[in-house]
Amino acid sequence: MAQSTPEGLSFTPAEPYEEVIPENAQTKKGLFDVHKVNDHYYFEIPDTLLSREILVVTRFVKTPGGAGNYGGEEIGERTIFFEKGPSNKIFLRIATFVSHADKDDAIAKAVQNSNITPILEAFDVKARNKDNNASVIEVTDFINSENNLLALSSGQKETYNLTSLEKDKSYIKEINTYPINTEVKTVKTYKAKVSHGNDKNLQAAILSGVVTVELNNSFILLPKNPMQKRLYDPRVGYFASSYLEYGDNQQKVNKNIYIHRWRLEPRPEDMEKWKNGELVVPKKQIVYYIDPATPKKWRPYLIQGINDWQKAFEQAGFKNAIIGKEWPVNNDTMSLEDARYSVLRYFASPSKNAYGPNIIDPRSGEILESHMGWYHNLMNLLHNWYMVQAGAVDERARKMTYDDELMGELIRFVSSHEVGHTLGLRHNMGASYATPVERLRDNDWLTKHGHTSSIMDYARFNYVAQPEDSVEVKNLMPRIGDYDKWAIQWGYSKFPVSTTSEEEKEILNKWVIDSIAANPRLWFGGEGRDFDPRSQTEDLGDNAMVASYYGIKNLQRILPNLAEWTEEKGSDNYQNLDEIYQDVIKQYNNYLFHVAKNIGGIYVTPKSREEDGDVYRPVSKAKQKEALMFLNKYVFTEPAWLLNDSILNKVEQPKTKDPVTNMMESMMLTLIGGSRMSRMSFIAERYNFNDPYTPEEYLNDVSAYVWSDLDIFYNPSDYERKLQKTYVADMIALYDPDKAQGPIAGLMARLSEETTSNTDIRSLALNNLITIQQKIKRVLPRVSNSMAKAHLLYLAKEIDDVVGETPSFEREYRPITD
């Protein structure tokens, strides 16, 4: 937190005010009064602003071509404060929010002593304005310098091979100041290195040896009285910040974690209505402006995506709490970089992305503003997703250029998702699990509930719905759901002014328990970064095997039509066909990995002490076996339908492997990798769980599927031979990482080495290899097919090179798979 101004210090300005700031100075009034005298800039810092926290946000205004950054994107943010220093100085300090203690506690002194804030700059006081008790400092050199507050960071410069700032080619473009913020716009030019063969080289650097950027620095005065924090709860998905909290009555240090949210409050004249439960307009709306660079036909859909959140805020007691607007034209008082305004910035970029960040008051988590980023080529991504996932049931998806209405609805859904992030909400990858798979084919149910309970999931489109289900197209797309409305209610509902954060926490805890018990669709499933198969990206429904079965059926319907659907007038090549075909492969791969996550999976359900049940619970053995049976059908058995000659003969193929083989190798890597195997071992050994799926039994089952046809009539297909080679290579990597061969097995070895060290996993891998070795040698003399015999000889040699000849006593050992 900001330190108090040192006592006993006074200013003795070097010059009278009128001599430093003459009558012909260009003056602008605002947070800091800004004066321009010839080419020199001065700030007036009133004494009332000393020790007040000020957030400084730096953004690009203009960037060089090929940099991958765009005007409006944030570079960084810092919290600063000014204070009086000795020798007639004003210090600029960088505030650090690491530790806090109540000022009335004795330990507060110790906290202060161990958290001194760095002095970034010391300014001479040039003059004093007696009318407003303000100190005049010159900021020209500081703004034009290469410092960590207002310029590119060392990491950002390194990204583009930039070196030192060229001061003679850098300058202040303009400074504007407003009641709570001052905006500084600069042009900065950097020397640039050009390295041969380095893809970081910018065209500007190649042509001139320098790179020029235009930056905007926003100095935003933080509220004098921070908003009351709302304490974080892992069962509700909000972004959060934290600091260490010390107190005289503690026996351990507390970590104070609080969520990010906007400050929504009733207007004074509506306070009684609000207390009586009536919906009221907030004192200050959340307003998002649409960048005027946005194509006009997409603006209404982006605004609809913003306004869709109004219904959610009604559950928190506010009406019209959020609204999207077009940027006012011909208004010189507004700037897109002005930190007082939240803007959806539109980027002319080949990237396929959008994002929704927010800027917060680090003391409280209050969201102050947001600049969403929207990349033009996102429409290409949306088009391909929708064709591949919905093309079987929506005729509108079966062409390369969508009608404006369809593309507009796709844009609207992404707009809503990204706005959710700017409101403080994290991804809820478990939301789709709240929908039973068969309900995804029920139009009436979907009309009422939607195909996922949260727009914050990566649920994409309803790929489960079959053509015969007659599901309306509106029920193929995500929309704001039960969870989203409830999460906004939890984060934004107001309590009486006298309620403390700790008292709120107790109330909110009961809300969570009671609400989820009454409606399991309100469960927050996390961001898919753990081993919980309920929480995955781009999946649907409560059973991945059934959902993926339906999804694959639709892919099988789509594939034969791709040549027709991807044709465009005037195009004489097959680039569209190639692109969509690759996306079909990716979608198929997604379905397989959704299933695979059940194997060795652990359900993670955060709970408070008042709730019954386990936080961690393994996936049942039956479900894991169901998942493996599915993968046997769709991975261990060649998906020949994907290798469609009418497509493959027209698109560019990989130089060494077809996409189906790549898919199989990737799946085998994860199925018998050290991470999964070690996790299964841990579950079997440590969890109090009846009949676990042990690594021994699991490897037994995998091996039985892969080697099911190894007998005297053995005549494997090309795909089966690749599968078995992959299996042996991966098993060798699992047993002895140092002897791994090939890039896939080598990757597996690197991933497995640490997790399998000093475990039974390597023993099981050795035993498995010996079992295969014995079976091959028993069968080999009786195999007549020459290709099959060559294949087995190769595998036997590979295993022999690693484990050697099987000792005689092992010939009596009963193989795991027999």
pLDDT digits (tens, 9 = 90+) for 104-148: 667 656 656 666 789 999 999 999 999 999 999 999 999 999 998
Sign of the C-alpha dihedral, residues 404, 410, 415, 416?
positive
Find, among 85, 78, 79, the residue nearest to 137 by Cα.
85
Residue with tokens 């409280």: 364
Quick one: angle between helices 621-631 and 544-558, nearest 10? 20
Tokens 């559950």 belong to: 315
The gap from C-alpha 798 to its chain's centroid, in whole angstroms, comes to: 42
Q: What is the pLDDT of residue 810?
A: 43
Q: For residues 383 and 402, is the Cβ–Cβ distance under 8 A?
A: yes
The DSSP H or E segment spanning 136 is strand 134-138
What count of residues does the chain have?
Answer: 818
Tokens 């690197």 sit on residue = 750
Inter-residue contact 569 to 655 (CB < 8 Å): no
DSSP code string of 71-94: TT-EEEEEEEEEEEETTTEEEEEE
- Residue 480 contacts residue 308 (beta carbons within 8 Å): yes
Residue 644 phi, psi (nearest 5) = -80, 115
Under a CB-based contact definition with an 8 Å cutoff, are residues 808 and 695 in contact? no
pLDDT for the residue numbered 154: 82
- CA distances to 659, 670, 672, 709, 772 from 725, in Å: 17, 16, 14, 15, 12
pLDDT at 471: 97
Coil vs helix vs strand at 492: helix
Q: What is the DSSP letter of 424?
A: T
Cα 477 to Cα 312, 385, 406, 417: the distances in Å are: 18, 11, 11, 12
> What separation in angstroms does the CA of 497 have from each of 284, 301, 503?
18, 38, 11
373 CB-side CA count, 13 A: 21
| CA 731 – CA 734 distance, rounded (Å) | 5
Residue 24 has which token pair? 């012909």
CB atoms within 10 A of CB 563: 18
- CA dist., res. 677 & res. 733, Å (int): 13
| Residue ranges in the chain whose pLDDT is less than 50 | 1-6, 808-818
